[in-house]
Chains A and B, each alone.
Chain A
Amino acid sequence: MVENKTEISVEALRAGDREEFSRLVENYSGPIYRLALKMLGIPMEAEDVLQNTFLKAFKHLKEFEGRSSLSTWLYRIASNEALMILRKHRPETTFSDTEPEGDDNSGYSPAQFADWRHLPETEFLTSESQAAMDKAVQNLVESQRIVFILRDIEGLSIQETGQVLNLSEAAVKTRLLRARLHLREELSTYYGERLEKRRKE
């Protein structure tokens, strides 16, 4: 997640070094904003998450014990902030406590078998296709969405994702698999139609 690889000093942060805190903000604001935007889809809400994450981080720096990395800690604050906004503003969304657990995938079968991988690269770069991809993420159940964003967009490991969300590795894997299969299905519908359209042209 670190954009600028220079090590941030936790001691300096704890000692109230403002310059070090500004470096923390500089390094991590990009990933935090991206996570919030992918999670919520609304720039104004993403900005709230961004600001609240660093306000809370600043307030609780003294409690940071270094048992996890700084990035894991920040991702945890940001994830909680984003989930809180979802619960407050979109209470109709399905939440993690209603999601069935276990690794049983019997309820799901792939239905789209278009092989759209070889569409010209330009097809994947249009703003329309980017919007379709973002929409597909936002259609995920929130407990799968946050796992997918942390693992496949932010590039955290399974273990780190579990640390951020306080989940077992098995639970992360189950949610990740469901999210990925669901997204594959949605992208196959979208790009499958693009493929069909090209064939007809």
Chain B
Amino acid sequence: MTPLDHSKCQTLLGSLSEYVDGTLSEELCEEIDRHIAECQNCHIVVDTLRKTISLYHESAAETGVVPAVVRERLFRTLNLDDYLQH
């Protein structure tokens, strides 16, 4: 077995965003797959990067509501009071 090439860790870093988005070319994907199968640290970086993105994605769902008072002030500012339904 050949020793693990750690210079690849840095090279592959530039492709990780597209790798986790699934938009990377098949060839580069396979290269990353092969590398992270052997490189524990890069494996963790990829996994925790995915988790980071998914946590922010989930938090968006919980924060997309405008507080009632802010909504009321907005409708008043825009002279849309008559459409202010609850």
The interface of chain A, by Cβ under 8 A from chain B, is 3, 18-19, 21-22, 25-26, 29-31, 33-34, 37-38, 43, 47, 50-51, 54-55, 58, 103, 105-106, 108-110, 113-117, 124, 130, 133, 137, 148, 152-155, 173, 176-177, 180-181, 183-184, 187-188
Contact = CB atoms under 8 A, between A and B. Distances in A.
Contacts of B14: 103, 105, 177
Contact of A21 (B18, B60, B71, B80): B80
B4 interface: no
A17 B58 CA distance: 35
A16 B14 CA distance: 48
B80 A51 contact: no
Interface residues of B, number: 34
Given A29-B71, A37-B63, 20 more contacts: A22-B75, A25-B75, A25-B78, A26-B83, A31-B64, A34-B63, A47-B74, A50-B66, A51-B73, A105-B13, A109-B13, A113-B40, A115-B48, A130-B59, A137-B56, A173-B17, A180-B16, A180-B17, A184-B48, A184-B52
